[in-house]
Structure 1
Amino acid sequence: MVHRYESAIDRQLREAQERGEFENLPGAGKPLRGAGGEYDEDWWVKDWLRREGAGSGVLPPTLALRREREDLNREIDRRPSEQAVREYVEALNEQIGKARVGLLDGPPTLLPPIDAEKAVAGWRERKGLTGSR
């Protein structure tokens, strides 16, 4: 008798198959979406948008963060005070930190943190408040 090694995962898969847990699954017998097509590096983003409803305008958190970063000055200029600018930048930097280590859903991002002092200086300059704090 030949004994074949079976890993714990192989055993779990075999037992699930024997119990019939892989029968009548949705999509069984159908080709995989995109099979045979060209590789698209953003396939998973497009698939996520399709699953979540692309018409809803919802972006994965890391993409929303990138967009917010692109609109940084406009977002900062909406704040009524230096303290509000600092709090906004602190909260945004916290989200950037989470995104950089993969704690937010979406494509990876290496956005740099925002310098709060530069953000406040720019806010002051655009508001015509140079020199005040």
Structure 2
Amino acid sequence: MRKIKTKIYIPTTLTGNMGRHYIPVLEDLRKTIYSDRILSRLADSGNIVIHSSVGYPVAKYKNTGISIGIEPLNPMIRQDLTLGYIVVIRNEKASQEVNGLLNRSLPKAISTFKDHINEYEAAKSKML
């Protein structure tokens, strides 16, 4: 079985001579979700599905429109994150982008993702 690399370093035109550019992969999203107690319980129970079948890392709250993804800046090249990426949170109504370095933007995005899940669950419980 082939081990999935959690970090890929590729020099790009974005960084020039500054060093190497970090390319996020599925494991980064998984680690951030599992660092939150509530989200990790939801992921363990199968209510949050983490995958990359669309070409980039995505986590979806099952049977809803709530998701978070590390998407390429160029949507025409779905599997190439070397040209840049953006963290996007979506719910049934809108999408929100979080810019910046992954180590800063992903925790903010996870917090927003969790807020959307809490709002959905609160609205769902009021309907019952």
| Same-fold call, TM cutoff 0.5 | no
Report TM bin, short chain.
under 0.3
User: Which structure is higher in strand share?
Assistant: 2
- Provide the TM-score with structure 2 as the length reference: 0.23
User: Which structure is higher in helix share?
Assistant: 1
- Provide the TM-score with structure 1 as the length reference: 0.23
- Structure with the larger RCO, 1 or 2 (CA within 8 Å, 6+ apart): 1
